[in-house]
Amino acid sequence: MPLILVLGGTAEARELASRVPVLSSLAGRVREPELPAGDVRIGGFGGVEGLVAWLREHRPEAVVDATHPFAAQMSRHAVEACRAVDVPLLRLQRPGWAEQPGDRWTRVPSLAAAAEAVGDRRALLTTGRQAVEPFLGLQHVVLRAIERPEGIPSSWTVVLGRPPWSLEDELAQIAEHHVDVMVTKDSGGPTAPKLQAARQAGLEVIVVDRPPVLAADVVDTVTAAEAWLLAH
């Protein structure tokens, strides 16, 4: 069987691994990740040079970058390494969210801009524990994360859990913690209950826009990724 390397721990990456024999590579940032079917490697490559060395040693037929839409560094490394070794690269990225009637969205270009937009309001921060640094100057934050990060202000409230959260959970957290504004990244995928909850509660949602896609070949469904792999 030809070797196909899939980068990422997203739902799309796991679905692709359930359909096609691949080697899935996970960053290893979560202690107990949800593992895909088939062969799995865990841990980084060591930057562009490390990924180039791995590609030259293992000689995959193709690489599918199915990392999170905000894993910009890994995506950039994949583009540079695959170009250097002349390995076909596909970016599999689910579509972004679209604003619905009743939504109150403010789109911003970065996490830093999101923190500035929050101001003194009490914010429900749903960007993940690795994206908290730009918000550390804020005092009124309810952080939701899979694992508790270190070095956060004592005034913050931390809600631990693994998504997805139900609509009822979202509404309950908004009410319990007296949330004034929600902060999220445009991760895309199925309509998120948190966005539905914000709409029902009349909350403003500060939405951080995605970084640009650098790969030449891009698809937004697993079926399209399968077709691309067959073609290559």
Strand order in the sheet with 141-145: 104-108, 204-208, 181-185, 123-125, 141-145, 157-160
Residues 198 and 218 occupy one common structural domain: no
Q: Are 36 and 14 in contact (CB under 8 A)?
A: yes
**pLDDT tens-digit series, residues 104-129:** 999 999 999 999 999 999 999 999 88
**pLDDT tens-digit series, residues 47-74:** 999 999 999 999 999 999 999 999 999 9
- What pLDDT, on a 0 to 100 scale, did the predictor assign at position 31? 66
**pLDDT tens-digit series, residues 172-214:** 999 999 999 999 999 997 778 999 999 999 999 999 999 999 9
Residues 18 and 53 occupy one common structural domain: yes
Residues 19 and 69 occupy one common structural domain: yes
Residues 197 and 227 occupy one common structural domain: no
Q: How many domains does the chain have?
A: 2
Residues 58 and 154 occupy one common structural domain: no
CATH number for the domain that contains residue 71: 3.40.50.720
Largest CA distance in the chain: 56
The domain in which residue 77 lies consists of 4-95+211-231
Residues 145 and 115 occupy one common structural domain: yes
Residues 204 and 215 occupy one common structural domain: no
Residues 197 and 217 occupy one common structural domain: no
Residues 70 and 129 occupy one common structural domain: no
Residues 75 and 130 occupy one common structural domain: no
Residues 16 and 73 occupy one common structural domain: yes
Residues 47 and 73 occupy one common structural domain: yes
pTM here is 0.84
